[in-house]
């Protein structure tokens, strides 16, 4: 039976890896999720046959309750709320790893002479505990920020010094548990400090950095699961956790690179935490409005149009109307493409998922590196809900917090139309110089409503 279980674990791990590979392309992402899910089901069933397990009733009840909650919430969640749902589920993964570690540590408490637990196992338990706990509490704060429950970044004097003190206390308690003993009081102190550090390190981070933070906590959750897999001797947990940790780490690095900022600056900097100043103080020029009928004419008689979506499109749920408008333009002979910035939206791939949901063909969705050179020959760049990812100050103003961040070169297009609800700054609080450009016109209003008016305007031509 043991050999059969190991074979099932091997197949499950292969499905995890192949599923992750399929998720690298929007064309195969759905299939990849199904493959990875099948692997998880197989690994879960195989685990029931591991010798020495008890409390099968509790295990089955927990699986049914958790699966039921996940199924219902997954069906009901809006696409605009998907980032916070990812943050919440990621936190649950870290919390599960921390719970496993807590159970193992409490088993060891008061039993220092018991050599059934080798020193390396104790150390891995503690390591997985601290990583999983920090990921758990930090992810919950990220969820609260994205959900709008915690709208402002919280800062106070000597905050970083305080955080380092909490972290030092966490490490000190962990070292004691790993090498000196597992007293109950020290275990409780250890988890309280780890939970506090996860909260304290996340509350000062601004909303604009949340995609990177979610990705980082995802990597930490994977590592925690891998360490606890060693503790339990579960090969599927070890490999699956390692794969998630590695993928999350690479994604975090890519996103930080897309923002031209080191991870340390994301965790300890201030970008995205405060509101920007007034437009008159920071940007030369004026905002020039345009009517939907005029914008429709401009796009209908263009040869090439590039559409740049952002989180505002998700909030307005305008992706279907935007694609309907795009199909009309395509029927009129206009070359229409969509440009996606790596950190557009509130999580990696957010815009890709929205456009795929609306039925946009994958060959019309381009990444920054693929499409940036096309803006020079573009007649109209239509920006809907995007802000910081098209801000030219990233190239021109060394004093800007986003200076050096690769952006979509929308300002290089002959004409720029920006669909925007109001005149406020973006999610990071930085005023956008693109909106004041000579070639830019502002189409004020709800994204879905404006898209409907553009569709009507194009039909009437």
Using an 8 Å Cβ cutoff, are 255 and 212 in contact?
yes
Any catalytic annotation for residue 399? no
Return the exposure string of 208-231: e unless at least 16 CB atoms fall within 10 Å of the residue's CB, then b.
bbbbbbbbbbbbbbbbbbbbbbbb
Using an 8 Å Cβ cutoff, are 272 and 155 in contact?
no
User: Domains of the chain: which residue ranges?
Assistant: 77-268, 279-459
- Could you write out the DSSP letters of every residue in 377-420? G-SEEEEES--GGG-THHHH-TTSTTTT-----GGGSSEEEEEE
Identify the active-site residue in 388, 399, 411, 446. Answer: 388
Q: Give the Cα separation of 344 and 447 in Å (integer).
A: 16
Proportion of the chain in helix, strand, coil states, percent, rounded to 5: 65, 5, 30
Q: Give the Cα separation of 399 and 249 in Å (integer).
A: 29
Using an 8 Å Cβ cutoff, are 440 and 418 in contact?
yes
Q: Output Rg (C-alpha) for the chain, integer angstroms.
A: 25
- Phi and psi at residue 352, to the nearest 5°: -60, -40
Q: What is the pLDDT of residue 277?
A: 40
Q: What is the pLDDT of residue 208?
A: 66
Half-sphere exposure of residue 199: CA atoms within 13 angstroms, side-chain side: 9
Using an 8 Å Cβ cutoff, are 388 and 430 in contact?
yes
Q: What is the pLDDT of residue 322?
A: 96
Q: Tokens in use for 124? A: 């891995």
**Nearest Cα to Cα of residue 124 among 241, 253, 226:** 226
User: If 0-12 CB within 10 Å is exposed, 13-18 middle and 19+ buried, where does residue 52 land?
Assistant: exposed
- Phi and psi at residue 348, to the nearest 5°: -60, 130
pTM as predicted: 0.80
Q: Give the Cα separation of 41 and 35 in Å (integer).
A: 10
- Write down the architecture of domain 279-459 according to CATH: 3-Layer(aba) Sandwich (3.40)
End-to-end CA distance of the chain: 72
Q: Give the Cα separation of 121 and 182 in Å (integer).
A: 13
**Nearest Cα to Cα of residue 313 among 340, 342, 286, 335:** 340
**Nearest Cα to Cα of residue 417 among 456, 378, 388:** 378
| Tens digit of pLDDT at every position of the chain (461 positions) | 778 888 999 899 899 889 988 887 777 888 999 999 999 999 999 989 887 788 899 999 999 999 999 999 888 887 778 888 889 999 999 999 999 999 988 888 755 444 445 788 888 999 999 999 999 999 999 999 888 888 777 888 888 899 999 999 999 999 998 888 778 899 999 999 999 999 999 998 876 677 788 889 999 999 999 999 998 888 888 988 998 999 889 988 888 877 777 787 777 765 544 444 433 345 677 889 999 999 999 999 999 999 999 988 988 889 999 999 999 999 999 999 999 998 887 777 788 888 988 999 989 999 999 999 999 999 999 999 898 899 998 888 888 878 888 899 999 999 999 999 876 655 556 789 999 999 999 999 999 999 999 999 999 87
């Amino acid at each position: 039976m043991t050999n059969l279980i190991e074979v099932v674990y091997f197949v499950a791990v292969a499905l995890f890896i192949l599923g992750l590979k399929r998720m690298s392309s929007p064309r195969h992402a759905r299939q990849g999720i199904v493959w990875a899910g099948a692997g998880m089901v197989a690994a879960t069933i195989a685990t029931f046959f591991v010798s020495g397990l008890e409390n099968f009733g509790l295990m089955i009840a927990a699986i049914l309750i958790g699966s039921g909650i996940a199924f219902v919430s997954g069906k009901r969640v809006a696409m605009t709320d998907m980032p916070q749902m990812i943050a919440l589920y990621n936190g649950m993964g870290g919390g599960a790893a921390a719970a496993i570690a807590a159970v193992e540590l409490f088993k060891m408490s008061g039993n220092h002479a018991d050599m059934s637990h080798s020193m390396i196992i104790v150390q891995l338990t503690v390591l997985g505990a601290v990583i999983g706990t920090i990921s758990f509490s930090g992810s919950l704060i990220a969820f609260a920020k994205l959900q709008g429950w915690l709208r402002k970044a919280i800062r106070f004097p000597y905050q970083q010094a305080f955080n380092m003190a909490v972290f030092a206390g966490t490490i000190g308690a962990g070292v004691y548990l790993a090498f000196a003993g597992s007293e109950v009081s020290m275990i409780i102190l250890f988890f309280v400090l780890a939970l506090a550090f996860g909260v304290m390190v996340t509350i000062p981070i601004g909303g604009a950095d949340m995609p990177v933070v979610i990705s980082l906590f995802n990597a930490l959750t994977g590592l925690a699961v891998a360490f606890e897999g060693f503790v339990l001797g579960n090969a599927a947990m070890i490999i699956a956790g390692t794969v998630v940790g590695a993928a999350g780490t690479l994604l975090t690095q890519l996103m930080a690179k897309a923002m031209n900022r080191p991870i340390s600056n994301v965790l300890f900097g201030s970008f995205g935490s405060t509101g920007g100043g007034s437009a008159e103080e920071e940007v030369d020029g004026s905002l020039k409005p345009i009517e939907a009928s005029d914008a429709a004419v401009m796009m209908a008689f263009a040869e090439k149009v590039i559409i740049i979506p952002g989180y505002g499109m998700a909030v307005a749920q305008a992706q279907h109307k935007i694609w309907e408008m795009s199909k009309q333009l395509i029927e009129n002979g206009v070359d229409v493409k969509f440009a996606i910035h790596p950190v557009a939206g509130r999580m990696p791939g957010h815009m890709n998922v929205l456009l795929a949901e609306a039925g946009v063909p994958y060959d019309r969705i381009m990444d920054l590196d693929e499409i940036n050179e096309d803006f020079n020959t573009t007649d109209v760049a239509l920006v809907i809900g995007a802000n910081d990812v098209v801000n030219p100050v990233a190239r021109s103003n060394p004093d800007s917090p986003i200076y050096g961040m690769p952006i979509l070169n929308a300002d290089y297009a002959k004409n720029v139309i920006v669909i925007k609800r109001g005149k406020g700054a973006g999610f990071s609080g930085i005023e956008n110089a693109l909106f004041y450009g000579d070639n830019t016109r502002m189409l004020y209003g709800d994204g879905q409503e404006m898209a409907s008016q553009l569709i009507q305007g194009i039909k009437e031509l």
